[in-house]
Structure 1
Amino acid sequence: METYYIGIDIGGTTCRVSLGCVVDGTLEIIKKMDTYTTQSFTVTKMLENLRSDVNILRRELTIAAIGISCGGPLNSKDGLILSPPNLIGWDRVEIVKYFMDATGIPTRLCNDANAGALAEWMYGAGKGTDSMVFMTFGTGMGAGLILNGRLYEGASDMAGEIGHVRLAAEGPVGYGKRGSFEGFCSGGGIAQYAQSVLLAKRQQGLIIPWAQDIKAVSAKDVGLAANRGDSTALGIMDDIGKNLGIGLSMIIDILNPERIVIGSIYARNVNHLYEPSQAIIQEEALMYAADACTVVPSELGESIGDLASLTVASYFYEKELMHEK
């Protein structure tokens, strides 16, 4: 008998509802509903849109659970969204109660990094491990922790906020802190760092062809230039890889995971970031901990948002609801 789940992915840019089913140990997306632009709707109207889509998907199917993935801060225990900085107006939204009252279906809320960790652990690059870390490395830097076969969320849903850790006294600003892990290893952080390098070169009289407008240079621009073999871009990526290695070394020493799965920018630039980060890990991390851990790119790619919310539902159902029965 197939088990069906509904996932709700709530992001700062878009929101979407999807339907999925686990077949032979693989989570398959059956249907994706329309994508809504988050800031185009009030919170009340967005919830109505999402509820309508949920009702459409459950008309002819028995849904085991609903999973909601959303950026933090959250209170997952009480099912509350607590004013995430990229979700203006979403202040203490009782989203789990809203969908349980509307549908009667068990519903679980999880922050996006934790949801991504569950997805990669159950169906992606972390499958088969008992302890792993998933790192976002996109617009921001966050992590989801799977420890001893279970999601670890911490005392107040703040476990895995590695982007806030300071790697250096100076450096790009991320998570409100100069020299933070997010400052060096995120889209915005890479752009800041690249712009500072490019500005220094221009002050020396050097013009980099791909960076005529320095203030507009993005992490994507750096990656593309590095792929073309540009020495400046390669140097920037090497520096980012080294700082990534410093952060990874701390994670390896503290948590001793079997695997670290990194998404987004790392997955797209692994050929530039892997070697410099590994060189630092070999220097900085404890030998036995480093030897036990592999660092790999995410396998779920651009579908991770939909898969993550569905995985929250399947994990909640399999690990919690089925256990209660």
Structure 2
Amino acid sequence: MLLGFDIGGTKCAVVIGSAPGDGPMEIIDKVIVPTTQPPYEMIEALFTAAEELLAKHKVLNAGLRGIGISCGGPLNSKKGLILSPPNLPGWDNIPMVEMTEARFGKKALLQNDANACAVAEWKYGAGKGYENVIFLTFGTGMGAGLILNGRLYSGTTDFAGEVGHLRLSDMGPVGFGKAGSFEGWCSGGGIAQLAQIKVRERLQMGEKVSFCNSPDDLPKLTAKVVAEAAHTGDELAIAIYNTCAEYLGRGLSLLIDILNPEVIIMGSIYGRARSLLDARMMQVIERETYIGSRSVCKIVPAGLGENIGDMAALSLAIMSAQ
């Protein structure tokens, strides 16, 4: 039996599963725990939920193969420390692996969520069968997990894959603390910022916008709201996603030329808004990348869908047992 913890800023999941040999992963059960308590109280709640889940399925600690912990960075996977993630205030230098191993008596592995999702997609999703895989979160933020030459690559200090910090323009929406960054142009938060700018321009000129009635509604704009309007044919919403797609193509072109991957897998927003992004994105990639790298690289949505967080934590559990 495998035990996984998926730690997020608004909610956490505790999941148990199994993976016989090289067979498919099976999610057996899970519980959701809202992230509403201080760090150590929250960890105790997660451990208690895990023990109750294991007891429910009559699994003793001795029956565990391994434990995986997926959490937003920054963190130190080698030392098993969670290091002040922006979406987890107060989680400063938390010895998560040490605490988990002491409680359950099994080896645990901690990785940032992008790396964990990359492993899951590589082993069980759209990256299965490939040796060089890039996974991009493309959700609230933009981060990457890198599988290079058949191994997870995390870099010297665990910060490999922080592609959201790449600056793609001198000015633009702010992401990862940097205006005009990859995360600024290509993330849920960035699309919302871009929409607020473009909609404000229209409203100040006295024009009507179908998905925003007044300046008071600007804070309510989200990537989802804009995508829904674009799918109905709203020209401003389509233009906003075209701008995102332009910079998505630029960011992907850098990754294709530098890392020469076989497949780039994108989660969240790409899966839901692919029809709004692909045409412009591919035009940019055709224009910018070296054909020898471009011709061997596929770009696809995540294959694990809504289960990716659970599968990510359980994939780390398998790695911890090896």
Separation in 1, partners of 2:120, 2:254: 24
Q: Which residue of 1 aligns with 2:43?
A: 47
> Which string of whole-angstrom CA distances, capped at 9 and with x for unpartnered residues, describes residues 156-176 of structure 1?
010000000000011100111
Query: Is it true that 1:9 corresponds to 2:13 in the alignment?
Result: no
Aligned partner of residue 282 in structure 2, secondary structure:
helix
Query: Is it true that 1:307 corresponds to 2:302 in the alignment?
Result: no
Give the Å deviation of 1:216. 2.0
Give the Å deviation of 1:250. 0.2
Q: Is the 8 A contact 1:137 1:264 kept in 2?
A: yes
1:153 alignment partner AA = S
Q: Which residue of 1 aligns with 2:168?
A: 167
Q: Which residue of 2 aligns with 1:28?
A: 26
1:8 alignment partner AA = F
Q: Which residue of 1 aligns with 2:267?
A: 263
> Which string of whole-angstrom CA distances, capped at 9 and with x for unpartnered residues, describes residues 3-60 of structure 1?
x210001101111210011156211110002x2221x212121111111222234443
**Worse-matched range after superposition: 24-33 or 122-131:** 24-33
Give the Å deviation of 1:315. 2.7
Give the alignment partner of residue 221 of structure 1, picking from 213, 221, 225: 225
Separation in 1, partners of 2:158, 2:303: 25
Give the alignment partner of residue 295 of structure 1, picking from 287, 299, 302: 299
Aligned partner of residue 92 in structure 1, secondary structure:
coil
Aligned partner of residue 65 in structure 2, secondary structure:
strand
Q: Which residue of 1 aligns with 2:125?
A: 124
Give the alignment of 1:311-322 within 5 angstroms. 311-317=315-321, 321=322
Runs of 5+ in structure 1 lacking a partner?
none
Give the alignment of 1:74-223 within 5 angstroms. 74-212=75-213, 213-223=217-227
Aligned partner of residue 211 in structure 1, secondary structure:
coil
Separation in 1, partners of 2:52, 2:10: 23
**Worse-matched range after superposition: 112-121 or 41-50:** 41-50
**Worse-matched range after superposition: 66-75 or 197-206:** 197-206
Q: Is the 8 A contact 1:118 1:315 kept in 2?
A: no
Give the alignment partner of residue 277 of structure 2, picking from 273, 276, 294: 273
Q: Is the 8 A contact 2:109 2:319 kept in 1?
A: no
TM-score by length of 2: 0.95
Separation in 2, partners of 1:92, 1:205: 51
> Which string of whole-angstrom CA distances, capped at 9 and with x for unpartnered residues, describes residues 197-255 of structure 1?
11222233311121112332111111000111111111111111111000000000000
> Which string of whole-angstrom CA distances, capped at 9 and with x for unpartnered residues, describes residues 44-94 of structure 1?
211111112222344433110000000111010010001111111111111
Aligned partner of residue 296 in structure 1, secondary structure:
strand
Q: Is the 8 A contact 2:30 2:53 kept in 1?
A: no
> Which string of whole-angstrom CA distances, capped at 9 and with x for unpartnered residues, describes residues 282-308 of structure 1?
000111101110100111122211111
Q: Is the 8 A contact 2:250 2:284 kept in 1?
A: yes
Q: Is the 8 A contact 2:77 2:110 kept in 1?
A: yes
1:91 alignment partner AA = D
Number of positions where the alignment pairs a residue of Structure 1 with one of Structure 2: 313
Runs of 5+ in structure 2 lacking a partner?
none
Q: Is the 8 A contact 2:4 2:317 kept in 1?
A: yes
Aligned partner of residue 25 in structure 2, secondary structure:
strand
